[in-house]
Chains A and B, each alone.
Chain A
Amino acid sequence: MRQNLPLLLCIALCLSSACSHYYYAPNSLQTPYLQQKHDTRASIGFIGGNEFSGWEASACFSPVKYGAVLFNHFQVQHAKPDDNPERKYGNGRLTEFALGAYNPIKKNMSLSLFAGWGGGQVFNAYGNGGVSNLRFERIFLQPGMMIQGKRARFGVATRFNRLNYVSGEVDLGIPPTELNAIRSIENVSPIYFSELGFVGGFGAAPVWVDFRINLNNKESLHSSGFATSTAGISIQFELDYFWRKTEANRPMNSFNTE
């Protein structure tokens, strides 16, 4: 899988649709490498896609053995610079919260399953004075896997989404193609689809730099302004490292049965 990453990146770029306004874009699928109770991870990074970019933050904590909570925030905006005061513009954000279970099945490998709920909104201005603002909620189930060595790590996860656009305000003066896109989103909501995320990183405890790519398979919605992919780079801190530093036994990269 690791050698396929460049290929996937390439596909992601080629798939980037001609639509200039987006109503959905995948945030990163977090696959925290969890080993034991009180493991704590926090990351922050850049993320972007075709003509939009932004940042995202994520935090994960294991309050009990095999159990974890996860928090994600994702925020992007249309990236094309433009002088026109009534220019085309767009932004979107998503905040979500998940509970999950993990199992460090063997040395250097951790499986996880998260179920979460979140919501956000996506705003677009079309350059002719017209705007749209849609609010959505998403619930998801996300199995994932992470392998972490001394200097490098790799993870993969898939996310099953139920995305529901709950409400929105749409200016009828927006371009007809965009109006059609929004109407079709309204008609097909709630939308069930899955996404695939890959992460490859390097570093060493307690700091990692990760490269991410997130792909969404809802082909039929690409013409309705669903971004096909996002890619990001982030930095993650294994915060527990700091309070465990004083502990004699600091099991970072090894399987610990407590």
Chain B
Amino acid sequence: MKKLHLACLFLGTLILAAACKRDTDFNYYYYEPADFALLSQYLNLPDRPENYQSTLPKHLQSLGLAARPVDYDKATLGRVLFYDKNLSKDGTISCASCHKQELAFSDDKKVSAGVFGLTGDRNSIALGSVLSFSAYYGTDLFGPSGVPFFWDNRANTAAEQNLASMTNPNEMGMSHTDIVNAVQTQPYYEPLFRMAFGSNQVTQARVSEAIAEFVNGIGSYKSKFDSEAEKTLGYNTYSNLERNNFSGFSAAENRGKLIYLDNCASCHSPLQGRPEKMKANNGLDAATVDAGVGGVTNQANDMAQFKVPTLRNIELTGPYMHDGRFATLEEVVEHYSTGIQNHPNLSPELKYGYQPKKLNFSAQDKSDLVAFLKTLTDQELRTDKRYANPFK
């Protein structure tokens, strides 16, 4: 019996010892630890993909706009591709070289510089000029009913667009096989492709799809203008309520808003949703210099017509117009005030009869209008870590 007691004592201690064991602590991971270690050698990626879903404010929803769902794994891969200089012929240029986050994804050059110091003939378009890339362009979802890409509307989907950028000899200068090779030689793409596509096979189509997914995840809808519009209008945007003063705006900004609604909104749209027109001529030159949409369609009445950009973050995206001819917003406003040229295709919104409008803004009008345009700046977009350069 003594032995039995001893045994019981021993058992009791054993059980107590076991009962005092440490707490439950599971380690949740998204990337397999070995994969994440590999990624972390090259990249500053979070341990799980960022959420790229955009929920638009009410006043934009009321226009029937919605951002389509974004695949976070593809967007993460796309983000890396977007910043990867290996994707250019001379290894110096990435998408981000001409589309800089702090400038709402545009650059500050008149015309952008690509590989081997070559320059194109057009000003970089700010990817952050739109409320949500996918809502604005309706890419892949609404197809041709969305807004087309580029100053001359020559691309219809984001994937088509970015392929054009990669293969443009003045931009990144790559061939399709160059792209695949460049991606395949970088070790960090293996896990990223596996997560995004279920296999590590690299194809040009997958590269384009992933970049498009990232670009579709970009959106700017948190400007001062948006917070005021949501507060004042909510879903009630059908009855010109935007003419009401916004309580958070200064007097100058409210006056500028009215000038904008009266003179500019017929093309650039009242709420910076989608533009009212897909293409227009705003009277930059009396004769055609750059054929614009006409260069793609070869139609006489498309000559010198260009994409109508929305003006979100316009303060950050100078120089302005397709050729970057205006350095400041004041110059742009001066153009509309006194400089509109009578091009044969000048859009009717900017004409009185057969003559170009002279809006003849006063000095006060001009500064009010510029003050209003600056309310379209979205500071959050400039520093949003989801869009930042992931390279170490």
Interface residues, chain A, with chain B CB atoms under 8 Å away: 64, 66-67, 99, 101, 115, 117, 129, 134, 137, 139, 141, 162, 164-173, 182, 186, 189-190
Would B48 and A172 count as touching, CB distance under 8 A?
yes
Total interface residues on B, using CB and 8 Å?
28
Bound complex: CA A146 to CA B266 (Å): 91
Other-chain contact of A173, B1, B18, B30 (Cβ < 8 Å)? B30
- Main DSSP-derived SS at the A contact region: strand
Residues A117 and B14 in contact in the complex (CB < 8 Å), given A67-B3, A169-B33, A170-B29 = yes
- With both chains docked as a complex, state the minimum distance between the C-beta of B196 and any C-beta of chain A, in angstroms: 12
Could you write out 17 A-B pairs with CB less than 8 Å apart?
A64-B3, A99-B10, A115-B11, A115-B12, A139-B18, A164-B21, A166-B24, A166-B25, A168-B27, A169-B29, A170-B29, A171-B28, A171-B29, A172-B28, A172-B29, A189-B23, A190-B24
Other-chain contact of B4, A64, A164, A172, A186 (Cβ < 8 Å)? A64
Q: Which 4 A-B pairs have the closest CB atoms?
A: A189-B24, A168-B26, A172-B30, A115-B11
Would A117 and B22 count as touching, CB distance under 8 A?
no
Residues A164 and B30 in contact in the complex (CB < 8 Å), given A115-B11, A172-B48 = no
B1 surroundings in chain A (CB, below 8 A): 66
Would B24 and A139 count as touching, CB distance under 8 A?
no
Bound complex: CA A184 to CA B21 (Å): 20
A129 surroundings in chain B (CB, below 8 A): 194, 198
- With both chains docked as a complex, state the minimum distance between the C-beta of A96 and any C-beta of chain B, in angstroms: 11
Bound complex: CA A145 to CA B96 (Å): 75
Bound complex: CA A166 to CA B14 (Å): 17
Q: Would you give the 0/1 interface string for B26-65, flagging 1 where the beta carbon is closer than 8 Å to chain A?
A: 1111101100000000000000100000000000000000
Residues A169 and B3 in contact in the complex (CB < 8 Å), given A129-B194, A164-B21 = no
Residues A67 and B7 in contact in the complex (CB < 8 Å), given A129-B198, A165-B24, A186-B24 = yes
Bound complex: CA A99 to CA B26 (Å): 30
Residue of A nearest to B12 (CB): A115
Residue of B nearest to A183 (CB): B26
B15 surroundings in chain A (CB, below 8 A): 115, 117, 139, 141
Bound complex: CA A167 to CA B32 (Å): 16
Residue of A nearest to B3 (CB): A64
Q: Does B19 contact A (CB under 8 A)?
A: yes
- With both chains docked as a complex, state the minimum distance between the C-beta of A105 and any C-beta of chain B, in angstroms: 15
- With both chains docked as a complex, state the minimum distance between the C-beta of A145 and any C-beta of chain B, in angstroms: 19
Q: Can you name 14 extra interface pairs (CB under 8 A) apart from A167-B26, A186-B26?
A: A64-B4, A66-B4, A67-B7, A99-B11, A99-B14, A117-B15, A137-B21, A169-B27, A169-B33, A171-B29, A171-B32, A172-B28, A172-B29, A186-B24
- With both chains docked as a complex, state the minimum distance between the C-beta of B83 and any C-beta of chain A, in angstroms: 24
Bound complex: CA A168 to CA B25 (Å): 7
- With both chains docked as a complex, state the minimum distance between the C-beta of B87 and any C-beta of chain A, in angstroms: 26
A162 surroundings in chain B (CB, below 8 A): 19
B286 surroundings in chain A (CB, below 8 A): none
Q: Does B8 contact A (CB under 8 A)?
A: yes
B195 surroundings in chain A (CB, below 8 A): 173
- With both chains docked as a complex, state the minimum distance between the C-beta of B91 and any C-beta of chain A, in angstroms: 32
- With both chains docked as a complex, state the minimum distance between the C-beta of A170 and any C-beta of chain B, in angstroms: 5
A190 surroundings in chain B (CB, below 8 A): 24
Residues A139 and B29 in contact in the complex (CB < 8 Å), given A64-B3, A64-B4 = no
Residues A67 and B21 in contact in the complex (CB < 8 Å), given A172-B28, A186-B26 = no
A137 surroundings in chain B (CB, below 8 A): 18, 21
Residue of A nearest to B17 (CB): A117
B8 surroundings in chain A (CB, below 8 A): 101
Bound complex: CA A169 to CA B26 (Å): 6
- With both chains docked as a complex, state the minimum distance between the C-beta of A144 and any C-beta of chain B, in angstroms: 16
Within 8 A of A (CB), among B203-219: none
Bound complex: CA A117 to CA B14 (Å): 8
Bound complex: CA A203 to CA B73 (Å): 60
Residue of A nearest to B47 (CB): A172
Would A101 and B4 count as touching, CB distance under 8 A?
yes
Would B11 and A166 count as touching, CB distance under 8 A?
no
- With both chains docked as a complex, state the minimum distance between the C-beta of B383 and any C-beta of chain A, in angstroms: 26
Bound complex: CA A167 to CA B21 (Å): 11
Which of B23, B48, B194 counts the most A-chain CB atoms under 10 A from its CB?
B23
Bound complex: CA A170 to CA B3 (Å): 45
A66 surroundings in chain B (CB, below 8 A): 1, 3-4
- With both chains docked as a complex, state the minimum distance between the C-beta of B75 and any C-beta of chain A, in angstroms: 15
Would A167 and B27 count as touching, CB distance under 8 A?
yes
Bound complex: CA A142 to CA B28 (Å): 34
Which of A117, A134, A137, A141 counts the most B-chain CB atoms under 10 A from its CB?
A117
Bound complex: CA A168 to CA B28 (Å): 8
Would B194 and A164 count as touching, CB distance under 8 A?
no
Bound complex: CA A182 to CA B12 (Å): 31
Residues A182 and B29 in contact in the complex (CB < 8 Å), given A117-B15, A164-B21 = no
Bound complex: CA A139 to CA B12 (Å): 11
- With both chains docked as a complex, state the minimum distance between the C-beta of A111 and any C-beta of chain B, in angstroms: 14
